[in-house]
Chain A
Amino acid sequence: MTLLSVKNLRVTFDTEAGLVQAVRGVSFHLGRERLGIVGESGSGKTMTGRSVLRLIRPPGKIEADEMVFDGIDLMRASEPQMRALRGPRIAMVMQDPKYSLNPVMRVGAQLMEGLRQRDRVSKAEAHAKAIQALEAVQIRDPERVMEAYPHELSGGMGQRVMIAMMLIPNPDLLIADEPTSALDVTVQAEVLSILDNLVKTRGMGLIFISHDLRLVARFCDRVLVMYKGRIVEELAAKDLMNAKHPYTQGLLNCLPRIGGNREALPSLDRDASWAL
Chain B
Amino acid sequence: MSTLTTWLRDPNPASRMQSRLGQSYLSWLRLRRNTLAMIGLGITLALVLMAVFAPYLAPHDPITQELSRRLLPPLTPGNILGTDDFGRDILSRIIWGSRITLYIVLLVILTAPVAGLLIGTIAGYFGGWVDTILMRITDIFLAFPKLILALALVAVLGPGMENAVLAIALTSWPPYARVARAETLTVRSSDYIAAVKLQGAGSARIIWGHIMPMCLPSVIIRVTLDMAGVILTAAGLGFLGLGVQPPLPEWGLMISAGRKFLFEQWWVATMPGLAIFIVSLGFNLLGDGLRDVLDPKSASK
List A residues at the B interface (Cβ < 8 Å).
16-17
Q: How far is the CB of B254 from chain A (nearest CB, A)?
A: 43
Q: Closest CB-CB distance, A131 to chain B, in whole Å? A: 38
Contacts of B30 in A (CB 8 A): 16
Determine if B29 is an interface residue (Cβ-Cβ < 8 Å).
Answer: yes
Q: Within 8 Å of chain A (Cβ to Cβ): is B201? A: no
Query: Does any Cβ of A come within 8 Å of B26's Cβ?
Result: yes
Q: Which residues, 12 to 55 on B, are CB-close (under 8 Å) to A?
A: 26, 29-30
* B29 partner residues in chain A, CB cutoff 8 A: 16
Minimum Cβ distance to chain A for residue B299 (Å): 11
In the assembled complex, the Cα of A16 lies from the Cα of B26 at a distance in Å of: 7
Chain B min CB distance to A46 (Å): 15
5 chain-A/chain-B pairs, Cβ below 8 angstroms: A16-B26, A16-B29, A16-B30, A17-B9, A17-B26
Q: From DSSP, what is the main secondary structure of chain A's interface residues?
A: loop
Q: How long is the Cα–Cα vector from A7 to B155 in the complex, in angstroms?
A: 75
Closest to B26 in A: A16
Report how far A253 CA is from B39 CA in the complex, Å: 56
Chain B contact-residue range equals under 10
Nearest B residue to A18 via CB reads: B9
The smallest C-beta distance from A62 to any residue of chain B, in angstroms, reads 19
Taking CB atoms, residues of chain B closer than 8 Å to A17 are 9, 26
In the complex, chain B residues 260-284 whose Cβ is within 8 Å of any chain A Cβ: none
Once the chains are docked, how many angstroms separate the CA of A17 from the CA of B26? 8
A17-B25 Cα distance, complex, nearest whole Å: 11
Q: Which residue of B lies closest to A59 (CB)?
A: B33
Q: Which residue of A lies closest to B28 (CB)?
A: A16
Chain A: CB-nearest residue to B29: A16
Closest to B30 in A: A16
Whole-angstrom distance between the Cβ of A59 and the nearest chain B Cβ: 10
Query: Closest CB of chain B to A174's CB: distance in Å?
Result: 28
5 closest A-B pairs (Cβ-Cβ)? A16-B29, A16-B26, A16-B30, A17-B26, A17-B9
Residue in chain A with minimal CB distance to B33: A16
Residues 176-221 (chain B) with a chain A CB within 8 angstroms: none
The complex places the Cα of A16 from the Cα of B29 at a distance, in Å, of 7
> Could you say which residues of chain A place their CB within 8 Å of the CB of B26?
16-17
A114 → chain B closest CB, angstroms: 30
* B301 shortest CB reach to chain A, Å: 9
The residues of A that contact B9 with a CB separation of less than 8 Å are 17
Complex alpha-carbon distance, A160 and B191, angstroms: 30
Expressed in whole angstroms, the minimum distance between the Cβ of A39 and any Cβ of chain B is 20
CA distance A250 to B30 in the complex (A): 39
Complex CA gap A17/B27 in Å reads: 11
B248 vs chain A, min Cβ distance (A): 45
Q: Which residues of B contact A16 (CB under 8 A)?
A: 26, 29-30
- Alpha-carbon separation in the docked complex, A16 to B8 (Å): 13
Separation in Å of the B300 CB from the closest CB of chain A?
A: 14
Complex CA–CA separation, A80 to B26 (angstroms): 37
- Which A residue sits closest to B25, measured CB to CB? A16
The CA of A16 and the CA of B30, in the complex, are separated in Å by: 7
Closest to A16 in B: B29
Provide the bound-state CA to CA distance between A16 and B299, in Å: 12
Min CB distance B268 to A, Å, is: 47
Q: In the complex, how many angstroms separate the beta carbon of A58 from the nearest chain B beta carbon? A: 12
How far is A173 from B26 in the complex, measured between Cα atoms in Å?
A: 41
Question: A226–B241 Cα gap in the complex (Å)?
Answer: 72
| Complex: A17 Cα to B29 Cα, angstroms | 9
Nearest Cβ in chain B — how far from A263, in angstroms?
Answer: 31
Interchain CA distance A16-B9 in the complex, whole Å = 11
**Beta-carbon nearest neighbor of B32 in chain A:** A16
How far, in Å, is B294 (CB) from chain A's closest CB? Answer: 15
Q: Closest Cβ of chain A: how far from B31's Cβ, in Å?
A: 10
> How far is the CB of A80 from the nearest CB of chain B, in Å?
29
C-alpha gap A31/B26 in the complex (Å): 45
Q: How far is the CB of A68 from chain B (nearest CB, A)?
A: 32
Shortest distance between the CB of B12 and any CB in chain A (Å): 15
Q: Give min CB distance, B49 to chain A, whole Å.
A: 28
A16 CA to B28 CA, complexed, in Å:
10
User: How far apart are B29's CB and chain A's nearest CB, in angstroms?
Assistant: 4
What separation, in Å, do the CA atoms of A17 and B30 have in the docked complex?
10
| B42 nearest CB across to chain A (Å) | 21
